Amino acid sequence: MAGLTLERVNKRFGSTQVIDDVSMQIDNGEFIVFVGPSGCGKSTLLRLIAGLESITHGDLMIDDQRVNNLTPPERGIGMVFQSYALYPHMSVYDNIAFGLKLAKQDKQTVDERVRQTARILQLDELLERLPKALSGGQRQRVAIGRAMAREPKILLFDEPLSNLDAALRVQTRNEIARLHERLGSTMIYVTHDQVEAMTLADRIVVLNAGHVEQIGTPRELYERPASRFVAGFIGSPKMNFIQVTAEADAEQGCRVEIPAVGQRTLPLALSAGGPSETTLGVRPEHLIPTASESGEGLEIVNVEYLGSEAYLYMERDDGELLVCRTQAPSPFRRGQRVTLDFDPTHAHLFDRDGRAVPPRARREARPEPQGADS
């Protein structure tokens, strides 16, 4: 089987543990995206895979071969850097050809490969230019071209779009998706932009403080977050979190007592025992507001109109904001009071450690989201 395997990979800088026991399995041709907050170790993990940093302990395998000790070209990787890192004194042609020449390819092969790469990336017209005479998007394409010219087995991207403006970012994102389709090579992509992650990835790896929170398809992450961290990180606006007391109920799942809403029953398999402090998570689109005449419920403190949808913000007694997504134009106004309810099948419950409470086992069991330690 071809692909990439990380087995309990660790990285320390001095005494700080930056990557903590990361294991994962990446299939050949997959598009994997690493996301996580700033400083969580995304770049470091990517650089470990590239061979630019040494693995403190653990194994990295490419195509079932242990590659911890191989140089980047020997590992067969190509990398696109955030700042592009084009060689400023070389033309586009030479930038793309540099690695090929160093690999001792004959002149003709080099020329063919460069031109072919340029064709794929629509750089034909720019081959003689210097990087400083290119636009940001063009530079980005040259950087990609340089990384893929050697036909690496694995292409790595470290926040490649963060220096582009919004419009160009969407366009280049599409180009990268199509490139993946066309090349079929394994790609690992680091970003902190969850839209990029959701749109590009076959599977997303959510990192937090050096460890893997969850690995799964975008849909799995969105619908079945394995932890409160993932639930809060994926999705915009963020999931609403409410402190609740929950108690297992053998018959229907679990009962939760929600302040200002009342008691609800969720189809989740809370472990038996007395009532416990948990966190209820409901995505904005699953909150159902109802106008309240009696002056009960919560006050709408703000309404954001975005054209295709609208967000309502409600302030709770403890000062926390709840957000609700409705169709636009919204029937609600600022200052209005609403009562809230939600669809229990779309509710999430997180225990005190932030772990998600799994759904109740049913006959047609849903696929279990792949957790960090699975």
Partner 1 sequence: MANRQPTMAQTPAAPTPGGTLETTQPVRPRRERGTRVRRRRVRAAWLFLTPMLVGLALVAGWPLARTFWFSVTDASLSSLEGANFIGLENYLVYDNGWYGILADPLWWQSVWNTLYFALVSVSLEAVLGVIVALVLNAHFRGRTLVRAAMLIPWAIPTVVSAKIWAWMLNDQFGIINHLLMTLGLIDAPLSWTADASLSMWAVIMVDVWKATPFVALLVLAALQMLPSDCYEAAKVDGIHPVRVFFRVTLPLITPALLVAVIFRALDALRVFDVIYVLTSNAASTMTMSIYARQQLVEFQDVGYGSAASTLLFMIIALVTVVYLYLGRRQLGGGS
Partner 2 sequence: MTLRRLKAIALKTGFWLLVAVLVLYAIFPFYYAIVTSLKPSSQLFEVSYWVDSLDFSNYVTVLSQPTFLAAIRNSVVVALSVVLIALLLGLTAAWALGRVRFRGRTTVMMIVLGVSMFPQVAVLSGLFEVIRTLDLYNSPGGLILSYTIFTLPFTVWILTTFMRQLPDELEEAAIVDGASPWVTLTKVFMPLLWPAMATTGLLAFIAAWNEFLFALTFTLTDSQRTVPVAIALISGGSQYELPWGPIMAASVIVTVPLVVLVVIFQRRIVSGLTAGAVKG
The 37-56 contact track toward partner 2, x by CB under 8 A, reads -------------x-x----
Query: CB-wise, 23 or 68, nearer to partner 2?
Result: 68
Indicate which of partner 1, ligand ATP, Mg ion, none lies near residue 12 (CB less than 5 to 8 Å, by partner kind): partner 1
Indicate which of Mg ion, partner 2, partner 1, none lies near residue 89 (CB less than 5 to 8 Å, by partner kind): partner 2
> From the centroid of its chain, how far is CA 122?
28
Indicate which of partner 1, Mg ion, partner 2, none lies near residue 204 (CB less than 5 to 8 Å, by partner kind): none
Contact partners, residue 29, CB within 8 Å, separation at least 6 = 184, 185, 186
H-state helical runs in the chain: 42-50, 72-75, 92-102, 107-120, 136-148, 166-183, 194-200, 218-223, 228-233
Q: Are 93 and 116 in contact (CB under 8 A)?
A: no
Q: Are 340 and 296 in contact (CB under 8 A)?
A: no
Q: Are 123 and 138 in contact (CB under 8 A)?
A: yes
Contact partners, residue 73, CB within 8 Å, separation at least 6 = 99, 102, 103, 150
Indicate which of ligand ATP, partner 1, Mg ion, none lies near residue 346 (CB less than 5 to 8 Å, by partner kind): none
* Residue 210 binds partner 1 (CB under 8 A): no
Indicate which of partner 1, ligand ATP, Mg ion, none lies near residue 41 (CB less than 5 to 8 Å, by partner kind): ligand ATP
Type of residue at 233 = F
* Residue 87 binds ligand ATP (CB under 6 A): no
Q: Which stretch binds ligand ATP (CB under 6 A): 33-41, 97-105, 135-143, 166-174?
A: 33-41
* Residue 41 binds ligand ATP (CB under 6 A): yes
Size of the site for partner 1 (CB under 8 A): 19
The 279-318 contact track toward partner 1, x by CB under 8 A, reads ----------------------------------------
Q: Are 93 and 129 in contact (CB under 8 A)?
A: no
* Residue 73 binds partner 2 (CB under 8 A): yes
Query: CB-wise, 187 or 340, nearer to partner 2?
Result: 187
287-310 burial by CB neighbour count: b if 16+ within 10 A, else e?
bebeeeeeeebbebeebeeeeeeb
CB of 44 to partner 1, least distance (A): 11
Rounded-to-integer distance, Cα 21 and Cα 146, Å = 32
Q: Which stretch binds ligand ATP (CB under 6 A): 34-42, 65-73, 250-258, 272-280?
A: 34-42
Type of residue at 62 = I
> From the centroid of its chain, how far is CA 280?
23
Q: Which residues bind partner 2 (CB under 8 A)?
A: 50, 52, 71-73, 77-79, 81-83, 85-89, 98-99, 102-103, 146-147, 150
Q: Which residues bind ligand ATP (CB under 6 A)?
A: 13, 18, 36, 38-44, 192
